[in-house]
């Protein structure tokens, strides 16, 4: 092992030759990620209206203000609930889907994956726009419902909560499929077959063999879907009513419309903390049990 991993390390110095090349990535990450992130934390405790380093002072006013701001707290709660709902919904759709595509031929898999990646990388703006068009009065979807006798006459199906949820599920599904894909494609198909040979129905084999094997990927998938959904901005703004506005919208309003960077950064920090708490909780609940 050791022999393979350390081929001819130069004896003269501890660091191998050429490692000065690492200075470039180190600088980029330090200057353009660590410093900006530190500045975010710094600005969140500056006096409202100030952003500069020296004169900002140190106050917790932004945070204490947020703690009693009903609209902000309500929006945080709504965002967390919305993201959780979307994560569960998209998991329940993408799990059987991923199971089936991993059992297809390689070529069919590639076609599905290219399709998924294409929708995955489509901008939230574009997807929201597509949904807005689709839910409009004159276009397809409501006409389809009329035809199915589910609606008396064509109508606009947005803005409302369900339009937001549907659009977010659409946004999240490619992510959750791609997160389930590695684990699922490593499951030996013979496992489920063995269970069936011993008399389990395919459904039962699926729930008693495949699902427990996928415990870890399921938790990761819920986590990432939650993170993607909670950051959503365009979909709730365009397809939702103001009471369905997520924290992301409030943050961008504070930063751009009100120009109050200390407030926007404090909101970001509070929002990150809330998200991290939920993720930590989920990991604590789901991380138990043996890794697969």
Partner 1 sequence: MGAAPANAAGRLGRDLFLGLFASFLALPLAIVAGVSFNDSRRMRFPPEQWSIRWYVDFLHDPAWMSALRSSLLIGVCAALLAASVALPICYFEWKYRLRVARALNTLGRVPFMLPPVVLAVVFLVFWSLLGHVGRMEDVVIAHAVVFLQLPLAAMMLGFHSIDRTLVEAAQTLGARDADVFRTIVLPIVMPYVVSGMLFVCLLSLNEYIIAQMVVGFAIETLPIKIFNSLRAGFSPTMCVGAVLFMLAGLVGYTFIALISDLPKLLGSEARR
CB of 164 to partner 1, least distance (A): 14
CB of 154 to partner 1, least distance (A): 12
For residue 72, what are the contacts with CB-CB under 8 A and spacing of at least 6?
66, 247, 250, 267, 270
CB of 66 to partner 1, least distance (A): 14
Cα(278)–Cα(234) distance, integer angstroms: 23
Cα distance between the two ends of the chain:
24
**Of residues 113 and 219, the one with the C-beta less far from partner 1:** 113
CB of 138 to partner 1, least distance (A): 6
| Listed residue (168, 158, 2) closest to 83, CA to CA | 168
Residue 176 has a CB neighbour count (10 Å cut-off) of: 29
**Of residues 107 and 290, the one with the C-beta less far from partner 1:** 107
In the Cβ-directed half-sphere of 148, how many Cα atoms lie within 13 Å? 7
**Of residues 244 and 268, the one with the C-beta less far from partner 1:** 268
Place of tokens 């751009």: 256
Cα(111)–Cα(40) distance, integer angstroms: 42
**Of residues 206 and 286, the one with the C-beta less far from partner 1:** 206
**Of residues 136 and 161, the one with the C-beta less far from partner 1:** 136
CB of 68 to partner 1, least distance (A): 22
């Amino acid at each position: 092992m050791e022999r393979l991993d350390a081929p001819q390390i130069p004896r003269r110095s501890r660091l191998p030759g050429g490692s000065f090349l690492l200075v470039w990535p180190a600088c980029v990450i330090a200057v353009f990620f660590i410093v900006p992130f530190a500045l975010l934390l710094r600005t969140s405790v500056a006096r409202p209206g100030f952003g500069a380093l020296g004169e900002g002072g140190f106050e917790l006013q932004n945070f204490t203000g947020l703690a009693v701001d009903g609209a902000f707290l309500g929006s945080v709660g709504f965002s967390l609930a919305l993201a959780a709902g979307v994560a569960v919904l998209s998991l329940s759709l993408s799990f059987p889907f991923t199971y089936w595509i991993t059992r297809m031929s390689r070529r069919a898999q590639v076609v599905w994956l290219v399709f998924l990646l294409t929708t995955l990388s489509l901008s939230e703006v574009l997807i929201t726009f597509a949904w807005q068009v689709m839910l409009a009065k004159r276009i397809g979807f409501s006409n389809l419902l009329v035809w199915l006798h589910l609606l008396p006459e064509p109508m606009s199906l947005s803005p409302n909560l369900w339009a937001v949820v549907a659009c977010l599920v659409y946004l999240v599904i490619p992510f959750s499929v791609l997160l389930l894909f590695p684990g699922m494609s490593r499951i030996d198909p013979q496992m489920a077959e063995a269970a069936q040979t011993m008399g389990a129905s395919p459904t039962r084999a699926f729930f008693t063999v495949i699902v427990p094997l996928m415990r870890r990927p399921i938790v990761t998938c819920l986590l990432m879907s939650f993170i993607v959904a909670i950051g959503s901005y365009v979909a709730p703004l365009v397809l939702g009513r103001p009471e369905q506005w997520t924290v992301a919208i409030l943050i961008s309003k504070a930063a751009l419309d009100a120009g109050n960077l200390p407030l926007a950064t404090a909101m970001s920090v509070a929002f990150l903390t809330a998200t991290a708490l939920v993720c930590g909780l989920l990991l604590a609940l789901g991380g138990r049990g043996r890794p697969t």
